[in-house]
Homo-oligomer: A and B are copies of this chain.
Amino acid sequence: MDIEKPAITPYLTTRKLNPENQETPIHFLRQTITPTEYFFIRNHFEYPLQTQEAFFLPIAGEAMRPTIFTYQDIIRMPSKHLTLPLECSGNNRAFFDPKVYGEQWEDGAISQGLWKGVPLKDLLALIGLKSTSLEVVFEAYDYGKRKDLAGKFHFTRSLPIQKALHPDTLIAYELNGKPIPYKHGYPLRLIVPQWYAMASIKWLKRIVVIDHHFKGPYQEIDYNYFPYKDNDLGKTPVTQINVNSVIQQPVNRSILDNGKHIIEGFAWTGTGVIIEVEVTTDGGESWHKANLVQEQSPLYSWTFWKYVWKVPNKGEYLIMSRAKDSFGHIQPFKAMWNRKGYGYNGVYTVKVKVE
């Protein structure tokens, strides 16, 4: 019959199409760099209609020399490459208990890319920041309606001046060795290492340095932890990525042979580096150190780990992983519940049956 076997490939998992929200098939990728076509896609609005204007990036506000940088200016400046995960702050939202509303992301709203760009601080040095500079506001081309406010809004958020001046906060123009794809922010995207990905604003339209606290709805209403269901007490902004891990294989509720199995996954954090991943196969009675695939975890990049499990007997097993970082943060048994479902990082759990 001479039929070539067709390729068996994973696909993005579709959560919504209008706007487009799709997850990375995270259980089926063991690469350090997520191939671009497998990058998770998260949008608040439909894709912006782009124009030539997007190749001109104005930076103004509390500046001695407000400047319109061209794309050509930017790609000719000294650049930097960074390998880092972007994680949606709603990653794993489906696992909150009690359940919350919003996009029901499972564990694939995270992807790791090789980003190339210019440190924002170099652009800010050129415009000459005034001493009154407090925050830097980033406005994107995408816009649309909200359910809670009248009018239309561009996606707009700010960074504290210290984070904006961090040498690794980039105005990026390449992902995985190519111009950033349209769906991921072409031509210019902010990349903010160690923060959840709502900070890494796509389709940059303009940047404004301000002397006060920015209060747009994507700063003050969304992307805040609200610990209580019915009131706003204890509200705090979502910023750094919480220490976290995922078990890629085996998948939940799978049936395994008796014998030896490899439990494997990766771990990441927004504070320091991953120093340890522990695995339990008895629901938390005993914990074992997993092997970290990179001995010394490079800053930012996720760390693959594996643990060889010799299954003692047939039966049901509750397997968990928990990561620890160099700041002493460790995954909790139960993630801190919050009304909008951000920052989930409970120990990762799968149940399997050995026959």
Q: Which residues of A contact B (CB under 8 A)?
A: 1, 3, 5-6, 8-18, 20, 22, 25, 27-28, 47, 49-52, 54-55, 94, 99-102, 104, 147-148, 182-183, 186-187, 251-257, 351-353, 355
Chain B residue contacts of A182, Cβ below 8 A: 3, 5-6
Chain B residue contacts of A187, Cβ below 8 A: 1
Beyond A104-B252, A253-B100, whether A28 also contacts B14 by CB under 8 A is yes
The complex places the Cα of A52 from the Cα of B1 at a distance, in Å, of: 5
The complex places the Cα of A18 from the Cα of B303 at a distance, in Å, of: 24
Give A91 Cβ to nearest chain B Cβ, in Å: 15
The complex places the Cα of A51 from the Cα of B16 at a distance, in Å, of: 41
Contact check, A3 vs B50: say whether CB atoms are below 8 A apart. Answer: yes
User: Contact check: which of B5, B104, B355 meets A251 at CB < 8 Å?
Assistant: B104
The complex places the Cα of A231 from the Cα of B242 at a distance, in Å, of: 44
Q: Which residue of B lies closest to A16 (CB)?
A: B251
User: Contact check: which of B101, B254, B353 meets A353 at CB < 8 Å?
Assistant: B101
- The 18 listed contacts between A and B (C-beta, < 8 Å) are A1-B55, A1-B187, A3-B50, A6-B47, A8-B17, A11-B11, A11-B13, A16-B251, A99-B351, A100-B253, A101-B254, A101-B352, A102-B253, A102-B254, A102-B255, A104-B251, A147-B257, A147-B355
Contact check, A104 vs B253: say whether CB atoms are below 8 A apart. Answer: yes
Contact check, B255 vs A101: say whether CB atoms are below 8 A apart. Answer: yes
Q: Which residue of B lies closest to A50 (CB)?
A: B1
Instruction: List 10 extra interface pairs beyond A94-B253, A101-B352, CB under 8 A.
Output: A1-B52, A1-B54, A5-B47, A5-B49, A11-B12, A11-B13, A17-B28, A101-B254, A102-B254, A147-B257
Q: Which of A13, A54, A256, A351 has the most CB of B within 10 A?
A: A13
Give A52 Cβ to nearest chain B Cβ, in Å: 6
The 9 residue pairs across chains A and B that have the minimum distance between CB atoms: A11-B11, A10-B14, A101-B353, A1-B50, A14-B25, A8-B20, A147-B355, A11-B12, A13-B13
Q: Which residue of B lies closest to A11 (CB)?
A: B11
The complex places the Cα of A257 from the Cα of B150 at a distance, in Å, of: 12
Chain B residue contacts of A6, Cβ below 8 A: 47, 182-183
Q: Which of A17, A94, A256 has the most CB of B within 10 A?
A: A17
Q: Which residue of B lies closest to A1 (CB)?
A: B50
Chain B residue contacts of A27, Cβ below 8 A: 14
The complex places the Cα of A22 from the Cα of B25 at a distance, in Å, of: 11
Chain B residue contacts of A352, Cβ below 8 A: 101
The complex places the Cα of A25 from the Cα of B25 at a distance, in Å, of: 14
Contact check, B186 vs A3: say whether CB atoms are below 8 A apart. Answer: yes
